[in-house]
């Protein structure tokens, strides 16, 4: 599988990453999924301290223990579980980040994290303090690089201007083109890579199509619009491709994107996703057709 450089770092990530939140808590099942990903050439594994109360990190760590140097572990911080583990609160403070990284390292069974990401963020956060925490962790050797996971343009701009982030993880798909107008060009200009999540738009862009459609619609799309647009996309673009191919390749056509992170709950799903990414890239005509059929909305509700 092809790899792309992650921002200004020396990390080269596979075009398809595994979103580990979906692998579950049954260790044998999860290990089979991770091993299938490795067999397909996937080297980028995305987890978070929040997933399954940290158990997800532990499962990932055990599965890649013997090949640690060959893979890139990305995890996240900022959400603090309450004592009853019934909910969590947002904590981007320096003290919490520097303490929590130790717990993630222990669960992952590693001495360092390749990419440590802030798991959210608001403009009201103590951003300078948060950046200071990540910079210190980098200087101390606990992390190699850091980034943020955010869809908020105002937060992203702050980190672009004030920090040394190498990546931003964000939701992006051909049904959610909000990043295209402002965010993706900004990050590309500054040499910061995008890692995308949600490429299949909650299953709407899989071959199951409208089986996943909700009466509430999806973002700017009404239920009726989805019923009109999805069959058209299949007719015009997915004639010789699976919908998974269309969805994943659309993200990868943007030069700001380094990797598309997709979840998988079985080895078979991993193999299908990998096959889709390894297929031939889009032509300009296909890209143009997709853009003519979908909406280029903006982030007015996320500022």
Is 218 within 8 Å of 204 (Cβ atoms)? yes
> Annotated catalytic residue: which of 51, 116, 146, 159?
51
The strand pair at 167-171 and 143-149 is best described as parallel
Q: Of 292, 300, 273, whose CA–CA distance to 39 is shortest?
A: 273
Is 251 within 8 Å of 172 (Cβ atoms)? yes
DSSP string spanning 133-150?
Answer: HHHHHHHTTSEEEEEEE-
Q: How many CA atoms lie within 13 A of 229 on its CB side?
A: 21
Q: Of 156, 90, 97, 159, whose CA–CA distance to 128 is shortest?
A: 159
- Quick one: tokens of 263? 């979840």
172 carries an active-site annotation: no
Distance separating alpha carbons of residues 117 and 182, to the nearest angstrom:
21
Contacts of 146 (CB under 8 A, 6+ apart): 115, 116, 117, 118, 134, 137, 138, 163, 164, 165, 166
The DSSP call for residue 224 is: H
Q: Where are the beta strands (DSSP E) in 120-275?
A: 143-149, 167-171, 193-197, 257-263
Active centre residues (catalytic): 51
């Amino acid at each position: 599988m092809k790899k792309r450089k992650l921002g200004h770092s020396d990390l080269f990530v596979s075009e398809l990453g595994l979103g580990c939140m979906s692998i579950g808590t049954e260790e044998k099942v999860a290990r089979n999924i991770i091993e299938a990903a490795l067999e397909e050439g996937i080297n980028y594994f995305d987890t978070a301290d929040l997933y399954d109360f940290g158990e997800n990190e532990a499962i990932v760590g055990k599965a890649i223990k013997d090949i640690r140097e060959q893979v890139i572990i990305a995890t996240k911080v900022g959400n603090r579980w309450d004592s009853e583990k019934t909910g969590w609160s947002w904590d981007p403070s320096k003290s919490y980040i520097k303490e929590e990284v130790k717990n993630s390292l222990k669960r992952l069974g590693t001495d360092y994290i390749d990419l440590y990401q802030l798991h959210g963020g608001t403009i009201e956060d103590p951003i300078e303090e948060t950046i200071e925490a990540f910079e210190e962790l980098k200087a101390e050797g606990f992390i190699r690089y850091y980034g943020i996971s955010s869809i908020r343009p105002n937060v992203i701009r702050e980190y672009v201007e004030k920090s040394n982030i190498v990546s931003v993880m964000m939701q992006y798909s051909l049904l959610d083109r909000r990043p295209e107008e402002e965010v993706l060009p900004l990050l590309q200009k500054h040499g910061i890579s995008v890692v995308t999540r949600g490429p299949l738009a909650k299953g709407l862009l899989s071959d199951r199509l409208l089986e996943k459609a909700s009466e509430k619609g999806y973002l700017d799309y009404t239920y009726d619009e989805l019923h009109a647009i999805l069959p058209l996309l299949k007719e015009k673009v997915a004639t010789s491709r699976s919908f998974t191919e269309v969805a994943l390749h659309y993200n990868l056509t943007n030069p700001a994107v380094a990797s598309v992170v997709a979840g998988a709950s079985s080895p078979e799903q991993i193999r299908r996703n990998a096959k889709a990414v390894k297929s031939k890239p889009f032509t300009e005509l296909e890209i143009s057709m997709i853009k003519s059929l979908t909406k280029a909305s903006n982030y007015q509700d996320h500022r």
